[in-house]
């Protein structure tokens, strides 16, 4: 059983420059992504992602993470902001916060994250640096559903990127980022179209019912 997203309303969470948010905005504008970006929320007041949202005429909300009694309280506030806008799919786009179960329970199989490595290799911080240090010959991007375990949820889309001999962290990150901008709209559209389910750790397609 794959959850449907009947309202097709996205909430995008950012902490920084928001280039992946931009790829989603562009995909909606071009019609490649049949969805509404209902709100963009950041925990960082001067995140450029908020500016991108405003320029696109989309509501931009800053919800700072400091001063809350607990991480659960912050997550409860986040859930309230998203639910107030009838968001049914949450897209993390460089959102540098780890959720408590409060957020994950509120949106089961309805939070997506994008990570610049081929998970399960190189979770966490600086995945491009980890890839170079390890000496892998390919890396890439993973879009996955968010569970309680960091960077470990069921994988929706992956794309492979070569690691070149003369790469440094910046050049590898740039090559991966170009693929991120294709992979994220593709993964969101795929989920919105339905006909998928989570089978163990796998996201698998469901064939249409036979007539």
Q: Is 144 among the catalytic positions? A: no
Of the candidates 95, 131, 133, which has an alpha carbon nearest to the alpha carbon of residue 114? 95
42 binds ligand GRF (CB under 6 A): no
Q: Is 188 in the site for ligand GRF (CB under 6 A)?
A: no
Can the peptide bond before residue 51 be classed as cis, meaning omega within 30 degrees of 0? no
CA dist 57 and 211 (Å) reads 43
Which of 94, 98, 57, 55 is closest to 78 using CA atoms?
98
Which helix (H) or strand (E) segment is 84 a member of?
helix 71-84
Q: Does 180 bind ligand GRF (CB under 6 A)?
A: yes
Three-state DSSP class for residue 36: strand
- The residue among 115 and 175 lying less far from ligand GRF, judged by its C-beta, is 115
Alpha helices in 158-207 (DSSP H): 169-193
User: Which of helix, strand or coil describes residue 131?
Assistant: helix
Is 142 an interacting residue with respect to ligand GRF (CB under 6 A)? no
Residue 93 makes contact with ligand GRF by CB under 6 A = yes
CB of 176 to ligand GRF, least distance (A): 7
Catalytic residue of the set 115, 126, 134, 181: 115
Residue in this structure with the two tokens 């509501």, named with its chain if needed: 59
CB of 36 to ligand GRF, least distance (A): 20
Q: Interface with ligand GRF includes 94 (CB under 6 A)? A: yes
Q: Which is nearer to ligand GRF, 69 or 149 (CB)?
A: 149
Residue 19 found at the interface with ligand GRF (CB under 6 A)? yes
Binding site for ligand GRF (CB under 6 A): 14, 16-20, 93-94, 114-116, 177, 180
Residues annotated as catalytic (active site), given as ranges: 115
């Amino acid at each position: 059983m794959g959850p449907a997203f009947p309202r097709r309303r996205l909430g995008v969470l950012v902490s920084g420059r928001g280039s992946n948010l931009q790829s989603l905005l562009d995909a909606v504008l071009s019609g490649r992504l049949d969805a509404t970006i209902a709100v963009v929320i950041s925990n960082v007041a001067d995140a450029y992602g908020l500016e991108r949202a405003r320029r696109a005429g989309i509501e931009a909300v800053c919800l700072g993470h400091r001063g809350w009694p607990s991480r659960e309280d912050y997550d409860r506030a986040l859930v309230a902001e998203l639910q107030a806008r009838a968001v049914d799919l949450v897209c993390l786009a460089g959102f540098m916060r780890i959720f408590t179960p409060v957020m994950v329970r509120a949106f089961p199989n309805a939070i997506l994250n994008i990570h610049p490595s081929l998970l399960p290799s190189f979770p966490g911080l600086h995945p491009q640096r980890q890839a170079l240090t390890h000496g892998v010959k390919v890396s890439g991007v993973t879009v996955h559903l968010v569970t309680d375990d960091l960077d470990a949820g069921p994988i929706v889309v992956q794309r492979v990127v070569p690691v070149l001999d003369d790469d440094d962290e910046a050049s590898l990150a740039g090559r991966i980022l170009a693929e991120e901008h294709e992979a994220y709209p593709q993964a969101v559209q795929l989920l919105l179209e339905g006909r998928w389910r989570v089978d163990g750790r796998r996201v698998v397609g469901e064939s249409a019912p036979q007539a």
